[in-house]
Homo-oligomer: A and B are copies of this chain.
Amino acid sequence: MQFHSLDDIRTFCRDLPGGNTGAAEAATLRQQVLTKPPGSLGRLEELAIWLARWQGRELPRLDCVTIAVFAGNHGVADRGVSAYPQAVTAQMVANFENGGAAINQIARLAGAELKVVPIELDRPTRDFTQAAAMDADAFLGAIDIGYHTVPPDGDLLVVGEMGIANTTAAATLCAALLGGGAVHWAGRGTGVDGAGLARKRAAIDAALEHHRAISGDPLKVAAAMGGRELAAIAGAVLAARRHKIPVLLDGFVATAAIVPLMRLNAGILEHCRAGHVSAESGHRALLDELGLDPLLDLGMRLGEASGAGVAILLLRAALACHAGMATFSEAGVSGKAG
Interface residues of A (CB under 8 A from B): 34-44, 82-85, 87-88, 91-92, 94-95, 98-102, 104-106, 108-109, 190-191, 193, 279, 295-302, 306, 310, 313-314, 316-317, 320-321, 323-326, 330-334, 336-338
CB-CB under 8 A for A101 and B313, given A83-B37, A191-B38:
no
A334 touches B85 (CB 8 A): yes
A302 touches B41 (CB 8 A): yes
A306 touches B108 (CB 8 A): no
Contact residue among B42, B95, B190, B314 (Cβ-Cβ distance under 8 Å from A331): B95
List 25 A-B residue pairs with CB atoms under 8 Å apart, sorted by A's residue number.
Answer: A35-B95, A36-B101, A36-B102, A36-B302, A37-B84, A40-B300, A40-B302, A41-B300, A42-B279, A43-B300, A82-B337, A83-B336, A84-B337, A85-B337, A94-B332, A99-B326, A105-B323, A105-B325, A109-B320, A191-B336, A193-B338, A295-B298, A310-B313, A310-B317, A313-B316
* A-B interface, 8 closest residue pairs, ranked by CB to CB distance from nearest: A100-B326, A42-B299, A105-B320, A105-B324, A313-B313, A40-B302, A42-B300, A37-B190
Q: How far is the CA of A249 from the CA of B209 in the complex (A)?
A: 52
Q: How far is the CA of A314 from the CA of B41 in the complex (A)?
A: 18
B40 touches A301 (CB 8 A): yes
Interface centre among A42, A88, A190, A320 (most CB of B within 10 A): A42
Q: How far is the CA of A105 from the CA of B59 in the complex (A)?
A: 15
Q: Is the interface of A mostly helix, strand, loop or mixed?
A: loop
B337 touches A298 (CB 8 A): no
Q: Separation in Å of the A89 CB from the closest CB of chain B? A: 10
Contact residue among B82, B108, B295, B320 (Cβ-Cβ distance under 8 Å from A108): B320
A300 touches B44 (CB 8 A): yes
List chain B residues, Cβ under 8 A from A92: 35, 333
B337 touches A299 (CB 8 A): no
| A310 to chain B: closest residue by CB | B317
List chain B residues, Cβ under 8 A from A36: 101-102, 302
Q: Separation in Å of the A336 CB from the closest CB of chain B? A: 5
Q: How far is the CA of A102 from the CA of B104 in the complex (A)?
A: 29
Contact residue among B101, B302, B332 (Cβ-Cβ distance under 8 Å from A37): B302
Q: Separation in Å of the A317 CB from the closest CB of chain B? A: 5
Q: How far is the CA of A317 from the CA of B101 in the complex (A)?
A: 13
Q: Separation in Å of the A266 CB from the closest CB of chain B? A: 24
List chain B residues, Cβ under 8 A from A104: 324-325
| A188 to chain B: closest residue by CB | B37
List chain B residues, Cβ under 8 A from A42: 279, 298-301
List chain B residues, Cβ under 8 A from A38: 191
A298 touches B43 (CB 8 A): yes
A331 touches B296 (CB 8 A): no
B320 touches A106 (CB 8 A): yes
B94 touches A43 (CB 8 A): no
CB-CB under 8 A for A87 and B334, given A106-B321, A302-B37:
yes
